[in-house]
Each structure stands twice: as C-alpha cells, then as structure tokens.
Amino acid sequence: MIVKWEFLHNITHLVFVDTDKQTDNTGEGIPMRPPTTLATPNTLTIATTYRDFRSNLTIVTAYWNLGKFQKGSGNLHFTTNTYVNWAPVFRYLVNPLVVYTDSKEFKVLMETLRFEHVHNTKIILTNRTEFWPFQLIKEIKAVFDQPDYPNIHPNTVKPEYSAAQHAKYAVNLAETVRKKVFDTPYYAWLDVGYFRDIVQRKEFFKMDIPPGVDPKRVSFNHIRNQRMTTKPFKIFRNNMLWVGGGMFLGRGEVILKLEQLYHSAVLYFLEKKLMNTDQQVLYSIYSNEGRKALNPRVELQLFDPKGPGDPWFYLGYLCRKLVSVTKS
C-alpha cells in the first residue's frame, strides 16, 4: 500500500452549520447536525509507504460494557449498539491506536475496523475490575445513595459510569504510557463517540499535535468560564463544568503526573462524600479549595474555541487533519 499524505494545514477547526450538541441539565449534549468544513487542502504533499509513516501521537480509547443507561434528563439511552455505531470512525484513523475493552464483541469489531492498521493497533481485552477506578464502585455508590444527593443521569446515578470516566486517566492513558506500546512522545485520550457527528464520512485522517501546545502541561478543551472560588461541594452536586473530558493530550511524562494527581483527588473527594465524572474532578482539583488540599504539580493548558461551532469538540477538530490514501 502506498500512501500519499495531503495535509490540510489550513484547517484550524471545523466550521459548523449549526451546533452539534443541545445542552441539557446534565451539562452534556445531544447530537444535532454533523459539522461541515469550509477549508481547502494545502498543496503540501508527502508520499511514503504506509508502514513507514511515523506519528508523534498515540491515540487511546476504551469501551466498557455498562449495559443500557439513561443519558441526560430526557428519553435518550446508551447501549452497546450506540458505541458500535460510533466506532467506524476509527477505521480511518492513521495514528497508532490503543483500545481497552471488556467486551469481546467490541474487540472483534475494532479488529475488523483496523484491518488496514494492524501494525499500529493494540486492542486489549481485559477485566475492568483489575483497575482501581472500578474497585471504588462501592464507595462511589455510597456517595450517590446519600438521601440529598442529586440524581443526574448517568453521572451521579450509575457508579460504573463514573468509574469509567476516571479510568481514562488511571487505566487507559497512563497504562499505555508506562507500557510504551508505541513509544511516541505524545499521547491523547479520545472518546469512542468524539467524532460521532461525522461517522458517515469515509475519509482517512490523522490526529496531530495542535499548534502552540505547551509540553509541560496537559491540553484540554475549555468549555465554560468558571470561578475558581467555587467550592467542590457545589461543583460536584451541581454538575458544573470547566473543561471537557472527551479528548485531552500531553507528553507521556506529564500524563503520568496527572494520573498521580487524579488518583489522589478521587480518593480525597470520596472521603468528602463527593463524586461525579472526571469533568467535575478536574474543575475541583484546580479550584482554590482543591489547590490548597491537593497541591497540583501539573497544570492544564486550555484551548479556547474560536469561531462558530460547538466548543465541546473544538480541540479534536483542531488536531484532525485529512490524509489521502492510495492503495497499490
């Protein structure tokens, strides 16, 4: 296979016809309309054999079978089929990819989708209870079972969902860094459904390091301006958001620092009878009260969405570059 890489350097982000998400009272969103790009390809072209392509960014994702669960306050429910329908995007990703799952069905699906990328794909079928976030189900449930604790589906209703969000940092990304599966300098977490709105687009793409990235920080998508004087009690119970957890990236050694901090933070907030998803944990860590208690030694770099479009997905589309693949 011969691959001709046509880099679309002019794409800084995708411009949307309308917003992709309709925010509900969970702080999450409902897909509305796929994005469209107004950018045109740059003339720079690089030709290489497929196996000779080298990336400085490993992508990590995971699917844990949590069964059917309600998403948001309406009638939206997620099942295995939801993620199966989103997964085909990964067929067209040319970066090294590591996938964690406890589902044999999902493992087979990803193996099928990645048949052209066997050399840079690692799919790990594992028991999720081996990892510390899923060993805290009892403690998380105890927080959610408090009589006055708000029910926000699934964030504060399904303990396994909360644990799955924590596993992004503790299990998936940091474990991949430690094992050096592909030994790239940068690593990124990418939700299975991050590019759900363009799943119908059969176009090969690469994920690149965004311009202006700070190698000493972990890069996140800035979702909402928030006051850092807000107390974690309010952040967790009111489902408040500061950054999005759908995608983030950083150098391997910085990711490991964040994992240590994140683990300590989850245990700390559980002792305070507080829990929600990773997005509330992150906001609380870097709140004034969280900084005093946890003394974070790694900082976040926030990417502020520019132009029209959905802020939830800005960072991912900033990193996404189309490539032209020619088989021979």
- Please give the Cα distance from 268 to 150 (Å, whole number): 20
Are 179 and 186 in contact by the 8 Å Cβ rule? The answer is no
Are 65 and 80 in contact by the 8 Å Cβ rule? The answer is yes
pLDDT at 311: 86
CA atoms within 13 A on the CB side of 45: 8
Chain-centroid distance, C-alpha 254: 17
SS3 letters across 22-54: CCCCCCCCCECCCCCCCCCCCCCEEEEEHHHCC
Measured CA angle at 42 (ends 38, 43), to 5 deg = 145
Range of the domain at 162: 2-326
pLDDT at 232: 99
pLDDT at 307: 78
Single out the residue of 238, 207, 197, 226 nearest to residue 300, CA to CA. Answer: 226
Per-residue pLDDT of the chain (328 residues; tens, 9 = 90+): 333 333 333 332 322 222 234 333 333 333 333 343 333 333 233 434 455 567 899 999 999 999 999 998 889 999 999 999 999 999 999 999 999 999 999 999 999 999 999 999 999 999 999 999 999 999 999 999 999 999 999 999 999 999 999 999 977 788 899 988 898 999 999 999 999 999 999 999 999 999 999 999 999 999 999 999 999 999 999 999 999 999 999 999 999 999 999 999 999 999 999 999 999 999 999 999 999 999 999 999 999 999 777 889 999 999 999 998 766 5
Task: Please report, as a single letter, which amino acid is at residue 148.
Answer: D
pLDDT at 13: 30
Chain-centroid distance, C-alpha 78: 17
If one counts the domains in the chain, the total is 1
Chain-centroid distance, C-alpha 76: 21
pLDDT at 10: 31
Give the tokens for residue 3. 């691959």
Q: For the domain that residue 109 is a member of, what is the CATH number?
A: 3.90.550
Strand partners, 186: 57, 251
pLDDT at 308: 77
- Please give the Cα distance from 205 to 319 (Å, whole number): 10
| E strand or H helix at 59 | strand 57-63
Integer angstrom CA distances of residue 241 from 70, 147, 236: 20, 23, 9
Q: Can you give the pTM of this predicted structure?
A: 0.85
